[in-house]
Structure formats: C-alpha cells, structure tokens
Amino acid sequence: MEAIQAALTRVTKQLFDQDAQAELTRPDEQFGDYTTNVALQLAGRLHQSPRDVAASLAEALQTELADTVQEVTVAGPGFINIRLSDAALLQQMGAAPGQRLRGQEIVAEYSDANPFKVLHAGHVYTTVVGDAVANLLEAAGATVHRVNFGGDVGLHVGKTMWAILRRLDGEHPEKLADVPADERAAWMAQCYVQGEQAYNEDEQAKAEIIKTNKHVYQLHAENEHTSPFAHIYWTCRQWSYEAFDAFFARFGTRLEKYYPESEVADLGLQTVKAHIGTVFEESDGAIIFDGEKYGLHTRVFINQQGLPTYEAKDVGLIAKKHQDYHFDRSIVITDNEQQQYMQVVLKAIEQFWPDLVRATTHLTHGKLKLVGGVKMSSRKGNIVRASEVLAMTSDALQQSGRSADDTVMLGAIKYAFLKTRIGGDIIYDPKESIALVGNSGPYLQYAHARARSILAKVGQQETATDSALESDERSLLRKITEYTEVVEKSTAELMPHYICTYLYELAQVFNRFYEHNRVVGDAREALRVRLVAAYADTLRHGLELLGIAAPERM
C-alpha cells in the first residue's frame, strides 16, 4: 500500500503540481483492491471536474505501477479504483506488520488492582484490554513496560484494617493463621465491605477508621514492621499480592512492576506542596486545585489531615514512572468513571510538567456487566469476583459437554471482552462466549485448529505455480493481505476490536473458499496449501496479539 501511495503522490505532483494526502482504503472486492478519493480533493483547487482529474491520474498511475497493477479505473464521481496483479498480491502474502514504534519506551498502566480489596470482574476486563493494547505496541517495535498501580494506603485500607482488627479481636496477628489460604482474598473483601458500611453508618467507627488510616501511613513513614498492627498489615498486603500473582499468571499477563501508592504518596505530597500558591491553593484546611479555571471541577490533593489524596498520589506516580523508565509515552487504562478525575489531575500536572502530560494518553473503557445489566460495586459487596467469571465460563463449557481447560475458557472470555470497541459498556454472556459458531474466541481457535489439520494431511510440496488465481483463491488472498493494515490501524487507535472483526471476517472468507475448493489432492494443491498456511499463520498471529492461544488441535 505504501508503494501505491508514494506513486500516487508522485503522479499528482507531476501532472498538477499539487501536494495531496492520498489516502487509500479497501473497497468492496468488486471494485478492486484499493480506492482513493484524491481526485475529488484536487478538483476544486484545479477548477476541473473530479472525473477528468481522476482519469488523468488513473492513466499515469497505470504506467507508473505497470509491474504491480492489473488495472486502474475511474468510478462514480471521481473515485480511482486500483486492482493489483495476482503476482503483486501473492508477494504481499505473509508480510509482517511494520515496526513504526521501534526505539520507543512506553509505559502501559492497567488493571490497577488494589491490595486489601478483592479482584473483581472489572479487573478481568481492564487486564484483558491492557494486555491486548500492550501486545499491539510491542508488535509495532516499542519496548513496553506493563505496570499496575494499587492502593496499599488510603481510606479503603483503613476500612479493611479496622474490620480485620475486629475479626481478630484486636491486634492478634497469630489469629491470621486461622484464615484458610484459599479464602484469604474473599475474607479481606468481606472485611472491606464491613468497614465501608461502618464508615458510612457509624460516626464512632468512622473516627476509628480515620485513625487506623493514619496509623497505616505512619507504618510507611517509619518503615515499621515489628508491632502487632504492622505484622497484620504487612501480612495481609502480601496476601493480596500473592492473589494478584496467581491471577495474572493464569491470564498470561506479564506485569513488570506493582506500584503501591505508598511508594509514590510522599513524592506526590511534596510536589503538590512545592506548587502551593502557583498551581494549588489552601481551602478549609485542605490543598486543592481549582479546575474551574479550566472548565473542569475542583479537587482536593491534600486533605485536612495533611494526607495525600488519590490525586496527589497520581502526581507522584507520573513522576516515578518517568524516573524509572524515561518514557516516550505513558498509557493509563481505566474505566470511564475516572475520565473527569484524570482530566483534572493531568491539567494540574500540566502546569508544572507539561511534557509529561503531552506524553500521556488516558484510555477509558466501559463497565463490564453480566446478562441482565447489573452494575457491580465492591463498596456494596454486590460484586462478581474474578474467580466467578472463570467459574461461570467453566460451567457453561461443561454444560455444553466440552472440556473446561484454560485454553478455551480464557480464549472465550478475552475475545468476548475485546470484540467490542473500547469505551462502551459490555454485557458478558458466558454461553455466547463459548459458542463454536458465530463471533467468538473458541470459534476462531477451532478455525485455526481446522486449518492446521488440513496442513497436516499434506505431503511433500512442490513449488506453487504462477498460474492465474481463481476467483475464490484471490478473495481469500486479498483478505489475508489486509491483515497488516488492520494491525497498524488497531495500534494507531489503541483499539483491539478491529483485529477481532477482521479475524472473524477472515474465517468466514476461508469457510466459503474451503466449501467450494478442494485443497489436498487437487491439481492446484501447491498454491492452495500456501493460502491455507498463510491463513492459519494470520489467525495465530492475530489471536496472540489479543492474548489468546491458537491451539493446533481442538
């Protein structure tokens, strides 16, 4: 495609002495392999009809690309349609996506699982999305540092620790041994809900929770590990990290670093204090950023107790990430509810670190809901845990009479989450996600396994001939060659759903091809085997970008 764009730019300059953005798109197959509306762009400037401009460009382009183009035609009001030669199309088969981001250092922050709280279905969603985005960036040549930012200090920790102390009848760390290893995460989640309810309903409990919260901050300030309170805190924090490790390992997530809030809180606090009077201001004993000056809202960065809020910690986090990685780009992936919050935080940081803000992209996604559209809340306790997402998918597989191995189960979950454009809410239906027909992960996994089984039946191959492509062969080949463009678009927009849509369409094109064309034992076997191999390789590469395994057998 780049060669065609370059040729189109040259002939436009030669014929009309004009510089134009020659965008090529893929038309319906009947119109050719590429199309451009550059003639419509130029017609107004040249005071000529678009079709006359298009006719001149088409004639010049046919000559310029004689070795690779079969025909260049004009359609409609002035569109230029380009059909490649069979040889040129075959040369594109198996081309790898470009390395446009080679040399870039990118930090991808996602999942953001918090110690002292349970991993829920929302964490599954943002982890799957984050993995796919990071995979795309890596495939484009970037060095990607995958990190998690989680709150090991803050009011939620105070609430959980307050409830833990009551369940242990005080500061008795030895009683933690009574909590079964496989129930630790759920036990702490129950403590959080208990603390949240007490904070909202009981003034005395609220005061005690605030005191507990300060005590946790003090542990970090003094690096204190020996007191009974400290032992309980550090043990429970470690329980959380062990649960995170197991979860991420199962999903194939390769996080490089956990950033606990305690590691960045002081840096954020000191940075905010250093800009009081210029960026931040005092209000009722707290330190705020007046976002209303910028059409946003006002937020507290240091509370009345002198403690950094989430906002100040995010100030510290962006600084720490840059210290650690000197990133060219930082991508932060959260749900939509954080959009306005991040706008204020980034606007505040922009006042003293504008380069870091320019390098930051905040990518937001919708909520994950189950069939029925119920919104989940860890504060109210009506959450669906990450383990329950796996369990309900496993149940659906077993009810269908199939094995609930992780290869298919995770493929079903990940594809169901990724096939919808990032931004809107998605509704997860386990039964739909595991289907072997329709737009699902297992369907594409089966399509890959089926292609590999065809190839396994093939003996020693002769070199494919250069005979003209038949209609179905060309249709399949044309679809295969779209892959690099889809990957590049997905990477540029950070939107993995384009790959999902493409892979499903590719599988459908292959099914039509295979229904009407014999491969093994046919006179055109050599060429068709090449097509099947390229198809299987494309499926595998695309699935792997999505974080989905491509099994050889199913």
One domain, residues 212 and 338: yes
152 and 45 in a common domain: no
Q: Bigger pLDDT: 464 or 115?
A: 115
Is residue 83 predicted with pLDDT exceeding 70?
A: yes
* Same domain, yes or no: 316 and 271: yes
79: its two tokens: 């569109």
pLDDT of residue 373: 56
- Domain membership of residue 100 (yes or no) is no
Any domain includes 423? no
Look at 1 and 433; give whichever has higher pLDDT. Answer: 433
The reply to whether 550 falls in a domain is no
Copy the structure tokens of residue 302.
Answer: 């240091």
pLDDT of residue 372: 66
State the pLDDT at residue 118.
85
The region of weakest confidence among 364-378, 460-474, 476-490 is 364-378
Dihedral angle computed from the Cα positions of residues 63, 67, 71 and 72, in that order, rounded to the nearest 10 degrees:
-50
Q: Which amino acid is at 157?
A: V
Kindly state the average pLDDT of the residues 85-98.
90
Determine the number of helices (DSSP H) and then strands (DSSP E) in the chain.
21, 13
My answer on whether 129 and 233 are in the same domain is yes
Angstrom distances, CA of residue 246 to CA of 21, 389, 514: 49, 15, 42
pLDDT in tens, 514-554: 999 999 999 999 999 999 999 999 999 999 999 999 999 99
What is the per-residue pLDDT for 463?
62
Q: Compute the average pLDDT of residues 80-95.
A: 93
pLDDT for res 464:
58
517 domain-assigned: yes
- 171 and 318 part of one domain: yes
Picking from 17, 248, 274, the residue whose alpha carbon sits closest to that of residue 146 is 248
Rg (CA), the chain: 28
Contact 476, 531 (CB under 8 A): yes
425 within a domain of the structure (yes/no) = no
CATH code at position 406: 1.10.730.10
The answer to whether residues 149 and 258 belong to one domain is yes
List pLDDT tens digits, range 140-168: 999 999 999 999 999 999 999 999 999 99
Judge if 120 and 225 occupy the same domain.
yes
Here the contacts of 13-20 (C-beta below 8 Å, separation 24 or greater) are: 14/60, 15/56, 15/57, 15/60, 16/42, 16/46, 16/53, 18/42, 18/45, 18/46
Residues 184, 194: Cα–Cα separation, whole Å: 15
Rounded to an integer, the average pLDDT of 22-39 is 94
Tell whether 525 is covered by a domain: yes
Report the share of the chain in percent with pLDDT over 70: 97
Structure tokens that stand for 314 in this block: 């995010």
Residue 16: predicted pLDDT: 94
Residue 293 DSSP symbol: G
CATH number of 37's domain: 3.30.1360.70
Q: For residue 256, what are its two tokens?
A: 């490089």
Cβ contacts of 491 within 8 Å, gap of 6 or more: 97, 100, 101, 136, 137, 139, 140
- Could you give the percent of the chain with pLDDT greater than 90? 90
405 and 344 in one domain?
no
Q: What residue numbers bound the domain in which 450 lies?
A: 386-418+430-545
**Is residue 457 predicted with pLDDT exceeding 70?**
yes
Does 136 map to a domain?
yes
Residues in the chain: 554
- The number of folded domains in the chain is 3
Is residue 467 predicted with pLDDT exceeding 90?
A: no
Task: State both tokens at 242.
Answer: 């062990």
Same-domain pairing of 407 and 508: yes
Q: Please tell me which residue, 375 or 73, carries the higher pLDDT value.
A: 73
Q: What pLDDT sits at residue 378?
A: 45
- Residues 340, 470 within the same domain: no
Q: How far is CA 152 from CA 241, 301, 317, in A?
A: 10, 18, 14
CATH of the domain at 122: 3.40.50.620
Measured between alpha carbons, how far is 42 from 94 in angstroms, rounded to an integer? 35
Q: Report residue 318 as tokens.
A: 């962006």
Is residue 95 pLDDT above 90, yes or no? no
> Do 267 and 167 belong together in one domain?
yes
Q: How are strands ordered across the β-sheet holding 79-84? A: 34-36, 79-84, 69-75
Distances, alpha carbon 10 to alpha carbons 7, 50, 61, in Å: 5, 18, 9
Pair 398, 362 in one domain: no
> Is residue 14 a part of any domain in this protein?
yes
Last residue of a domain, which of 51, 84, 117? Answer: 84
